[in-house]
Structure 1
Amino acid sequence: MDLTGVFVPMITPFDASGAVTYSVLENLAREMLEAGVSGLVALGTTGEPSSLTADEQRGVLEVLARVCRDRGAPLISGVASPGADAVLSLVPPFVRPGPEGVVAHFTALAETSAVPLVVYHVPARTGQALDAATLRRIGALDRVIGVKYATGALDADVVALLADPPPGFAVLSGDDVFLSPLLALGATGGILASAHLATERFVALHRAWQDGDPATARKLTHELSPLSAALFAEPNPAVVKAVLHARGRIPTAAVRLPLLPASAAALDRAQRLIPTARISTVSDL
């Protein structure tokens, strides 16, 4: 499975009654793929999986698996499930088992998983930091194909990891604002909730680094980084949903508890940072 490019962790849209609206999810997913993203992520944090029932989770997975299958695009799932091409697997949270425990955990998962694993490294949520050497050990395991790197910083460990990654091990930016510097250092792409908006530009940013066009990449970075920061100014995906609703792309901006809807100020700021002109190629910039 190729982990190159922009992957969008899909929101879960709700209608006025609070129910999941699967037709809107399908349309949104098709829009993402038509805009050039490489693949989708189902039931990641952005999809509010912990607030969905088991039936709702199955429904979301069925929709996104069908859309990806129709387009020949990969689907990564936040939960093990039929139809997914890989599973996004969180570093064990809360218990903080230490590096050796984390390596043992992923060794056991890799031995039993039916599909490849993408490690989700987000210390702010798990309480478990991992250095570059530990991530290399995990990345060398059979069936571990990459990491969503979301430490909240452009730190020395990711620089070291990208300087010498295990063969076939992809590093994906999990912090949207750090997409460009990580691509410059050798990351293969990103898992980006921000790419629900200005999707073509995020795709063009990745392509610019791949094509060795730093001038275009820098221009897009300066345009998109403030947007990403604004979309994450309040707990994700509240602001993303608010903007999508304001632009008529989903029926409501609703999120489920414990999340709260985005504030009017956050919505206004994000709206003002969205590029107005659509692009289809880098030459349109």
Structure 2
Amino acid sequence: MSTDATPTGVFPATLTPVDADGEPNAALLAAHCRALLAEGATGFALLGTTGEANSLTPGQRMKLLEDLLAQGFDPTLFMPGTGNCAMKDAVALTRHALDLGCRGVVALPPFYYTPVSDDALFAVYARLIETVGHARPNIVLYHIPPMSRVPIVPAVIERLIEAFPGAVVGVKDSSGELANMTMLAKRFPQLSILAGADPLMLPLLREGGAGAITATSNVAMPLLAYLFRNFADPAAQDKVAAAQALLSEIREVTRTVPQIAALRALAAVRRGDPSWSNALLPNLPLTSAEDATLRAAVAPLFARMDGFGA
């Protein structure tokens, strides 16, 4: 099910371009977003894991969003990540995004003091909803236990829905477990369940999912857009299968080296700007040898992707 509030489609988990000193580059990000829209993106989930938000200060995150919107974008295209271990920072980031007119936010759970009980996790999201000061904060819960070590279990989601009707609109599931995603789609049909792993979007769509927020869409958006548009078209199933297979090939190539560094290197290729390879510590750019190997491996895959344009 989808309403105007529930996000449906493909939302790239956008990389954050930075200069040599680690300062975000809003102009370069704006150009990237325009290219992604032309390739079929629905909107953008910036400042998440792929966007390395936890390597930026709250002030940098707010300024980047402001500078990006100053480039003339409709703010409803954006769902920035606003989760933070510091409750006041999470509230400030969420309020800031909503005040700017963003369609909602993607809220990571607190991730340092583990384990976090279900009661504590409910209390965190309840405090966020109650304090942010918006009647409809349009929160997408960010379930990424491989990174956060804090799973967002169905019982917590159910409590939040009952306590704060309309406040939670979806779940980004980056567990890598299709069974969990399909369970959520069936148990919570009022929410958008979004795959956080590129190859799982297609099977999730077929089980009632709403789309995806993924990293590889930074460089393979035409494939994800094609899959989203055509997954249910009987006449397109051969090409859907080909798109899915090519997407998996590209994703596997990016996983042979650290993924964010790989995506930065490939963004430099796709967007024709070498500054995309600049890194935010503790991530490092690829070595010259790694970069050359990656480019050689992905070049024929990108050439095949041209047949799936928006």
**Map 1:50-199 → 2, pairs under 5 A:** 50-66=54-70, 70-71=73-74, 73-79=76-82, 80=94, 81-82=96-97, 83=100, 84-94=102-112, 95-113=114-132, 114=134, 115-140=137-162, 141-142=164-165, 143-155=167-179, 157-167=180-190, 169-199=191-221
Question: How many aligned residue pairs are there?
Answer: 279
Task: Provide the residue aligned with 2:280 in structure 1.
Answer: 256
| Contact 1:132/1:160 (<8 A) preserved | no
Match of 1:205 among 227, 234, 248: 227
Question: What does the per-residue CA deviation read over 1:198-243, in whole Å, with 9 as the maximum and x for residues that have no partner?
Answer: 3222111111125465443322111111212322443342111101
Q: CA deviation at 1:173?
A: 0.5
- Tell me which protein shows more helix as a share of its residues: 2
Coordinate RMSD, CA, aligned: 2.6
| Contact 1:86/1:118 (<8 A) preserved | yes
Between stretches 91-100 and 216-225, larger displacement belongs to: 91-100
Decide whether aligned partners of structure 1 residues 223 and 59 sit closer, same or farther in structure 2, where only a CA change above 3 A counts. Answer: same
Q: Which amino acid is the alignment partner of residue 146 of structure 2?
A: A
Task: Provide the residue aligned with 2:45 in structure 1.
Answer: 41
Structure 1, unmatched stretches of 5+, are none
DSSP 3-state at the match of 2:44: strand
Question: What does the per-residue CA deviation read over 1:93-126, in whole Å, with 9 as the maximum and x for residues that have no partner?
Answer: 1322222322232233222333221100000112
Q: Distance in 2 between matches of 1:88 and 1:132?
A: 17
DSSP 3-state at the match of 1:119: strand
TM-score (norm 2): 0.79
Between stretches 253-262 and 228-237, larger displacement belongs to: 228-237
Structure 2, unmatched stretches of 5+, are 83-93
* Percentage of matched positions with identical amino acids: 27
Task: Provide the residue aligned with 1:240 in structure 2.
Answer: 263
| Contact 1:139/1:166 (<8 A) preserved | no
Decide whether aligned partners of structure 1 residues 178 and 139 sit closer, same or farther in structure 2, where only a CA change above 3 A counts. Answer: farther
Match of 2:248 among 209, 225, 228: 225
Task: Provide the residue aligned with 1:5 in structure 2.
Answer: 9
Decide whether aligned partners of structure 1 residues 91 and 53 sit closer, same or farther in structure 2, where only a CA change above 3 A counts. Answer: closer
Q: Which amino acid is the alignment partner of residue 70 of structure 1?
A: F
Decide whether aligned partners of structure 1 residues 132 and 53 sit closer, same or farther in structure 2, where only a CA change above 3 A counts. Answer: closer
Decide whether aligned partners of structure 1 residues 70 and 211 sit closer, same or farther in structure 2, where only a CA change above 3 A counts. Answer: farther
